[in-house]
């Protein structure tokens, strides 16, 4: 059983015991069921990681020339893809008090706007010297679900608002990831 299949099974056992009981009663081999789900997730992760890598390389072509940047970019893309794929499989099992669409609308209405990142970039540039440590920047990138090279590009951009507008695809995916984190 793959790591994805094992995580799905653990999630079902913890958050959806009735689904698990039904499955165990109706399927002679639940391992096959979870293995099939795990294989599906693996395919989703692979395709999402390839897509994310392609998008990130298009936005940051300089990473192609630096082995460590390229590896970091590919690892970031894979982790994001895993989070998205697993979240899509796990979210429906829970029993939220509102529909997913209603929850998303409420989240969109109350979340920090992307402009907050542009304002952060302007403050960072106006400060004159680095006001955040690398660890703090990594935490900001993690909190906003954006790749570290993207945040560094934003902080270095002459016009941060334009940078965000030009990279709206990354910001949209980051918003999706942050929402899915909260739903879990």
pLDDT at 91: 56
| Distance in angstroms (rounded) separating the CA atoms of residues 175 and 122 | 21
* 81 close to 45: Cβ distance less than 8 angstroms: yes
pLDDT of 92 higher than 70: no
Q: Model confidence over 18-68: pLDDT tens digits?
A: 777 877 888 788 888 889 888 988 998 999 899 888 888 888 888 889 999
pLDDT at 99 over 70: no
Residue 92 has what DSSP assignment? Answer: G
pTM of the model: 0.50
Least confident of 77-86, 97-106, 139-148: 97-106
């Amino acid at each position: 059983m793959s790591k994805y299949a094992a995580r799905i099974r653990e999630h079902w056992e913890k958050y959806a015991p009735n689904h698990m009981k039904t499955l165990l009663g109706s399927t002679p081999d639940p391992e096959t069921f979870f293995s099939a789900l795990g294989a599906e997730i693996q395919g989703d992760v692979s395709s999402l990681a390839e897509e994310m890598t392609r998008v990130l390389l298009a936005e940051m072509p300089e990473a192609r020339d630096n082995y460590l940047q390229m590896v970091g970019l590919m690892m970031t893309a894979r982790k994001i893809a895993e989070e998205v794929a697993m979240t899509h499989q796990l979210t429906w099992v829970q029993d939220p008090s509102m529909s997913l669409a209603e929850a998303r609308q409420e989240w969109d209405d109350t979340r920090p706007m992307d402009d907050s990142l542009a304002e952060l970039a302007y403050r960072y540039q106006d400060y004159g010297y680095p006001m955040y440590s690398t660890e703090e920047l990594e935490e900001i990138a993690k909190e906003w679900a954006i790749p570290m090279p993207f945040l560094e590009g934003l902080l270095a951009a002459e016009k941060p608002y334009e940078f965000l507008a030009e990279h709206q695809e990354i910001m949209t995916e980051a918003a999706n990831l942050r929402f899915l984190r909260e739903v879990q």
